[in-house]
Amino acid sequence: MSPFMGYFMLGSAFLIIVSMALMLARLLGGPTLYDRLLAVNSFGTKTVLFLCVFCFIIGRPDGVDIALLYALMNFIGTIAVLKFFNYQALDVGLMRGNNSERGGRS
Amino acid sequence: MSGIMTAASEPSFVVPVLLLDISLLALLVVVAFAIVRMRSLFAIVMLQGVYSLVSAAWFVSLDAVDVAFTEAAVGAGVSTVLMLSAMLLADRKSTPVPMRRQLGALTVVIIAGAAMLYAVGDMPAFGDPNSPANSYVGMDFMAKTAEEIKIPNVVTAVLASYRGYDTFGEVVVIFSAGLGVLLLLGLNGNAGRWEAKPNGQVIKDRTAPSASQADAPQSDQPEMEAST
């Protein structure tokens, strides 16, 4: 890793942390729950990016696997919250039409 | 620290990585205070997911990759779903607790934190070759795992082979705990509602004899009834 590349990755890591702080501000002060949901989702994406950069900074590129796991977990959490909003239950299929008898509140 | 700096062949980033760690920890502190101060339980569940993500990133920077895996899977994934399904059964808002009832908990927390800070002084230095983890049987495991078990990862070998029965017991405990939680929560949305047909007579949760008893004034838990 050339020194320029190292400093470039360090700078991007710090900028990602700054954007995480911005997302946190929106998450704390967001007027509606949808603002907060969007902030959490974006925060998770920032975490994935930070992990990718950080693994290369400390010289362990296999940490990218963890970043992949984070992306999946972030998706699961967001889907769970959205289902909670829409149906007030978690045992609902993702496809429309499977759950017509349940009468979702959409 | 200078030894570490010169030992690395490529440009070493000890101080900047330390700064990254500190900023991650600062984010953790902000999130933790927000969790304590907020009243909307939705926002608290989301903030717990954020807390878990940030702490897992910090675990990666501490080189504890397996702990980070567990934290991401349990903290950000499973516990968000479990908290939400618990909120299906309970209130959406938490009411403020009066100050005099918080003093006991505050005292316990301060004492526990002071004890932990006191114990930090007894910890061995980072990478100390004479620390207990590096001087007793740990080195035997490191040396013999490759020929005895033939698993490249020593942590996996210890967990799954040397301490296999211990791990099996842990798995049984976790399985029964998860089963109990699923039975309590009722993820299909039917928790708290039940129906039985003994001798052709239909008994539901509303018409059961226990429901009328719970409505009686001598019941000491009226809030349980209101939540169903």
B70-96, pLDDT tens digit by residue? Answer: 888 888 778 888 888 777 777 667 777
Q: What is the pLDDT along chain A (106 residues), one digit of tens a residue?
A: 677 888 888 889 889 999 999 988 888 887 787 888 888 888 888 988 998 888 888 877 777 887 888 888 888 778 877 877 777 666 666 666 544 444 444 4
B92 and B1 co-located in one domain: yes
* pLDDT for B48 beyond 80: yes
Task: Assign B25 a pLDDT band (cuts: 50, 70, 90).
Answer: very high
| Structural domain contains residue A102 | no
Q: Whole-angstrom Cα distance, residue A75 to residue A94?
A: 13
B166 and B214 co-located in one domain: no
pTM value surpassing 0.80: no
Secondary structure of residue B38 in the 3-state scheme: coil
Secondary structure of residue B39 in the 3-state scheme: coil
Q: What pLDDT does B207 receive?
A: 62
The domain in which residue A67 lies consists of 3-87
* pLDDT for B114 beyond 60: yes
Task: Assign B171 a pLDDT band (cuts: 50, 70, 90).
Answer: very high
Q: Please give the angle made by the CA atoms of B94, B32 and B182, to the nearest 5 degrees.
A: 60
| Structural domain contains residue A103 | no
Q: Does residue B187 contact residue B85 with C-beta atoms inside 8 Å? A: yes
Q: What is the pLDDT of residues B58-72, one digit of tens each?
A: 888 887 877 888 888
B75 and B108 co-located in one domain: no
B171 and B196 co-located in one domain: no
> What residues in B contact A43, CB-CB < 8 Å?
50, 53
The domain in which residue B11 lies consists of 1-96
B179 and B201 co-located in one domain: no
Task: Assign B227 a pLDDT band (cuts: 50, 70, 90).
Answer: very low
B177 and B202 co-located in one domain: no
* B residues 38-97 lying closer than 8 A (beta carbon) to A: 38, 40, 42-43, 45-47, 49-50, 53-54, 56-57, 60-61, 63, 65, 68-69, 72-73, 76-77, 80-81, 84-85, 87-88
* pLDDT for B191 beyond 60: no
Which region among A14-28, B37-51, B137-151, B172-186 has the lowest average model confidence (pLDDT)? B137-151
Q: What is the pLDDT of residues B154-167, one digit of tens each?
A: 878 888 888 889 99
The predicted complex's ipTM stands at 0.80
Average pLDDT over residues B104-132: 87
| Structural domain contains residue A66 | yes
| Structural domain contains residue A94 | no
Secondary structure of residue A17 in the 3-state scheme: helix
* A residues 69-98 lying closer than 8 A (beta carbon) to B: 69-70, 72-74, 76-77, 80-81, 84, 88-91
B181 and B219 co-located in one domain: no
B117 and B200 co-located in one domain: no
Number of domains in chain B: 4
A58 touches chain B (CB under 8 A): yes
B168 and B89 co-located in one domain: no
Mean pLDDT of chain B: 76
| Structural domain contains residue A92 | no
Q: What pLDDT does B228 receive?
A: 38
Q: Whole-angstrom Cα distance, residue B184 to residue B169?
A: 23
B10 and B89 co-located in one domain: yes
**CB-CB neighbours of B73 under 10 Å:** 18
B25 touches chain A (CB under 8 A): no
B97 or B191, which is more confident? B97
A53 touches chain B (CB under 8 A): no
Q: Do A73 and B69 touch (CB under 8 A)?
A: no
Q: Do B46 and A80 touch (CB under 8 A)?
A: no
B148 or B192, which is more confident? B148
B76 and B23 co-located in one domain: yes
Which region among A48-62, B30-44, B148-162, B176-190 has the lowest average model confidence (pLDDT)? B176-190
